[in-house]
Chains A and B, each alone.
Chain A
Amino acid sequence: MAEIKLEHVKKAFGKVQALSDITLDVKDKEFFVLFGPAGAGKTTILNTIAGITMPDEGTVKFDGKVMNLIDPAHRNVAMVFENYALYPQMTVYDNMASALRSKLYKTSEEEIKERIAWAAKVMKMENLLERLPSQLSNGQKQRVAMGRALVRTPNVFLMDEPLAHLDAKLRNSMRTELKEMQANLGSTCIYVTHDFMEAMALGDRIAIINEGNIVQIGTGDEIYYMPCNEFTASLMGDPQINIFKARIIEEAGGYSILFAVGEDAVNLPLPKDAGIYKAIKENGLEYVDLGIRPQNVKYAFEPTEGYFKASVYSYESIGNKSVIVAECGDYQLRMIAPNGLNVAIDSDVYIRFELDRSILFDENTKKYIVRYDEENFKALANNSEGK
């Protein structure tokens, strides 16, 4: 197992700058997640660590040793590819044995047999060992690809969206299994995904990547509760966070916000919080972007004190709960509701924000300024790092 460092890595493919300036530090035995939308450069980073791609600039270090010029075979990494890359002409057993049979990692046939038996048990695929890849389902191929990596003792495990092509049910159950395995393995692992649930569930730390740049690195809680900008806030959480423009007005004893709903403006008091009030005063904040997660938006179907009016755009189930999307002036606001409600489209709905859970972003730079209860969440994030 090893500590992996990337320092100022740049890579271009033709005219496209895939990686702009990547600096990462993955600790030994850490489960590190690279998370971002498609095309962000996550696979390129993985390929650079594996040695499949050579960076234009910057260094790749394993335990302090520069690996730039060392070919993949000699880096001792185990990789799980997005479309599995199983050798089609070999059985599952031979696929898993292939690395151990190469000249570099030569292992005795008995030891190979032992290790494969162990990996097959962990991946629950003992009965598949004699099959050919063409005889396997997607879920089974994924297990073989992981099994092929597990039998080795590499410096680092590199996994490129291994769960991407599985259906939702299988993805969820495999994710939970992976979580259990990860605890047992105790190995350095770098995992690429575009699914935020995988990122949060599996990662000790997560690096958010967009368009070849690192946007933020932190624990799941840090990124979820204190996202460094609006882009990151929108990536984490399903349904997506609500962000809208608000104007802060000073009032007797505190502040309130004004935000536009069509022609009118709604005035909501900002609850008292030392951190928030300090930030407003020190930065002279007037126009901000307010972010509030769907769980913190409350609704009612009858006019209620403190609730403002909007109209139902849609009501959809997302599994164990449902989402109401309400149209409110130029905005669409998302909120959580239980399954099985009788909600008519285009009917009236009344909304209240739990502003004491909101996040403030800079209106121009879109960067994070402050959030409610920041102290407590910082403490929570630091504690969860010890998990």
Chain B
Amino acid sequence: MKTGKQRTLYVLKNLLLLIYAVFALFPLIWMILISFKSDTEVFTTTFLFHPTLANYREVLIRSDYGRYIRDSVVVSGGAVLVSIIVGVPAAYALARYNFPRKEDLAFQILSYKFAPEILVVLPLFMIYQKIGLYDSYLGLIWVYQLISLPLLIWVVRGYFEDISVEIEYAAQVDGYSWYQIFFKMLVPLIKPGLVSSALLAFIFAWNSFTFPLILSSNKVYPVTVAIMKYLGTDSAHYGQLAVASTVSALPAMIFALCIQKHLVRGLSFGAVKG
């Protein structure tokens, strides 16, 4: 039973939240609106206009947009895949074994995320040119490891550490080989952490701009860089720009919405002991 005072407080709270939500989401909403407007209407109208699909037709069908999406998928997906294949065993090693300077190594891997991309991208440009990795899928997948690998290792290591080592002994005594133990017993237990950190890594890789901008040009063209193409030399086709941006943001948004429940749980569960 809410008193009058509690009711006004309730309304006030939600009003403030609504205002903030509008403020935060407005650029996104504006962008979606623009994608339906013709070039002439972009500056002159706000909410009332004649919606048109011309921009969509131009971008999705007439231009090379499909190719840009494909490149993003290959590079981001490939990066996450490599991170999983390398990172999960690495996380296991860090969790289970003791070797000299183990924590130094773990910290070093984490430190890859400390430096902003722009800091490292110029030296990398020169190196890539020399070893011929410039403008290649392999080159981008490799450099994306700086983004996806630390995240994956950090989260999955926590999950491994939470599994008591006696479970592995029990499985050995039960007659299972190392591979069977790893895939049948351990992987199901780290799945939440693995899935959520992999998806998050994918989102980060997808959104990466600096690396593809500098380290590739025509052959490999992820969508983040491709959007710049719609800027045009003389004028900006805002409508088309908006379409390119909106569509490129879609995968990240969809993934995040799908796993939002698991995101927090998956990322924090393994990290905290006890």
Interface residues of A (CB under 8 A from B): 47, 50-52, 71-75, 77-79, 81-83, 85-89, 98-99, 102-105, 148
Contact = CB atoms under 8 A, between A and B. Distances in A.
A98 B171 contact: yes
B9 interface: no
A103 B175 contact: yes
A72 B185 contact: no
Contacts of B185: 87
Q: DSSP class of A's interface residues: helix, strand, loop or mixed?
A: loop
A50 B177 CA distance: 15
Q: How large is the interface on B (under 10, 10 to 19, 20 to 34, 35 or more residues)?
A: 10 to 19
B166 interface: yes
Interface in B124-180: 164, 166-167, 169-177, 180
A105 B173 contact: no
Contacts of A87: 167, 170-171, 185
A87 B173 CA distance: 13
A71 B185 CA distance: 18
Contacts of B116: none
Q: Which 9 A-B pairs have the closest CB atoms?
A: A102-B175, A104-B175, A85-B166, A99-B174, A85-B170, A72-B172, A73-B175, A81-B166, A79-B173
Given A73-B174, A86-B170, A98-B171, 12 more contacts: A52-B172, A72-B172, A72-B173, A83-B166, A85-B170, A87-B185, A88-B167, A98-B174, A102-B175, A102-B180, A103-B176, A105-B174
B188 interface: yes
B221 to A, nearest CB: 43
A103 B184 CA distance: 13
Contacts of A51: 172-173
B174 A102 contact: yes
A50 B174 CA distance: 11
B189 interface: yes
Nearest to A74: B175
Contacts of A73: 172-177
Contact of B175 (A86, A89, A99): A99
17 contacts: A47-B169, A50-B173, A71-B172, A72-B172, A73-B176, A74-B175, A79-B173, A81-B169, A83-B166, A85-B169, A86-B167, A87-B167, A88-B167, A89-B188, A103-B177, A105-B174, A105-B175
A77 B170 CA distance: 10
A51 B170 CA distance: 11
B163 to A, nearest CB: 8
Contacts of B166: 81-83, 85
B116 to A, nearest CB: 40
Of listed B164, B174, B188, residue having the most chain A CB within 10 A: B174
A103 B166 CA distance: 21
Of listed B169, B170, B177, residue having the most chain A CB within 10 A: B170
Nearest to B167: A85
Contacts of A86: 167, 170
Contacts of A72: 169, 172-173
A374 to B, nearest CB: 43
Contacts of B174: 73, 98-99, 102, 105
B164 A85 contact: yes
